[in-house]
Amino acid sequence: MASKGLVLVTGGSGYIGGYVIAQLLEAGYHVRTTIRNLGREPEVRETLKKLTPNLDNLTFFAADLTRDDGWAEAVEGVEFVHHVASPFPAVMPKDENELIGPAREGALRALRFARDAGVKRVVLTSSMAAIAYGQAQPRTTAYTEADWTDETSPDTGAYIRSKTIAERAAWDFMKTEGGTMELATVNPGAVLGPILGPDFSTSILLVQKLLNGDFPACPRLGFSLVDVRDVADLHIRAMTHEKAAGERFMAACDWYWVEDVARVLREDLGTQARKAPTGRLPSWLVRIIANFDPVIRGITFELEKVRMADNSKAKTLLGWTPRDVRTSITDTARSLIREGIVRV
């Protein structure tokens, strides 16, 4: 197969980045990817073999979100860039600037070096976090790409602020310094799907905890879910489609409460999901638990809130056809069991 061109994917050791790389390779592109430490290249290659055997056209470069070193070499001769790399820890740092700084500066660094290298288009992995938060009143209508999170609101956390600030900075850069380069963003909801190893989306901790029986009952938390395979597919559509330039694309599907996810696990996995809770945990009790659990503490502002996503733009403009969320939930669970992350 003749190569379609050269594409850079930042954050190659990450969950979404791995799927973007694999789909690009399968489509016939030559791919470069950045990781912070080249010593991890054999490990990342081994992980990617679970998705595609076609790794001959994959090259690794060392680059970090917080430093200029290596970026010029990584983008030289590249036609498209997928800037996927961004920090998303399970436990939020005490100083939110540990997240916001690398996210914002990393996005600007990727854009600046891409522009200087003559890159045609950058696809930035943003988040639904940059769209659907910081609103004073609860809302019954679905969020669209026209909405923006108010990062100054208490209805946000450090990660939400980091993604919002980074995406705003990227669009501002394009207006003033982007030149002829194009930008599109993909804004995923909570990302599920088959894991490839220990590096996976923080969202998957939910399925892991349900299978492990870590919750005595289900907190009243919900998410607009999406499959990692569909997120990668949307990235590539946003890269190639002429109408994607200058646009944001919501990559999120159906809204599920935690108890809905638990029910799907019990129904589709049977005894393997016997520890998944059936009852609902009162929100007042969750707030008490949050005093002792930093992971819970970081999401208590989400209790009882519904944030539905309208993904019609990606479907109509780019022909995106995401899979059923139920499939994503069960595929996630089976992969956690298969990889030995969850023991049933």
Residues annotated as catalytic are 163
The neighbouring-strand residues paired with 10 are 34, 83
Strand 6-10 relative to strand 30-35: parallel, antiparallel, unpaired? parallel
> Are the CB atoms for 22 and 44 separated by under 8 Å?
no
Dihedral sign for Cα 255, 258, 260, 265, please: positive
Cβ-based neighbours of 38, under 8 Å, separated by 6 or more: 60, 61, 62
CB neighbours of 180 closer than 8 A, spacing ≥ 6? none
Eight-class DSSP state of 190: E
- CA-based R_g, the chain, Å: 19
Distance CA 74, CA 61 (A): 6
Sheet holding 222-227, edge to edge: 190-192, 222-227, 255-257
* CB-based contact 251:187 (threshold 8 Å): yes
Alpha-carbon distance of 130 to 153, in angstroms, equals 12
Residue 74 in contact with residue 34, Cβ under 8 Å? yes
Cα separation, 301 vs 129, in Å, equals 13
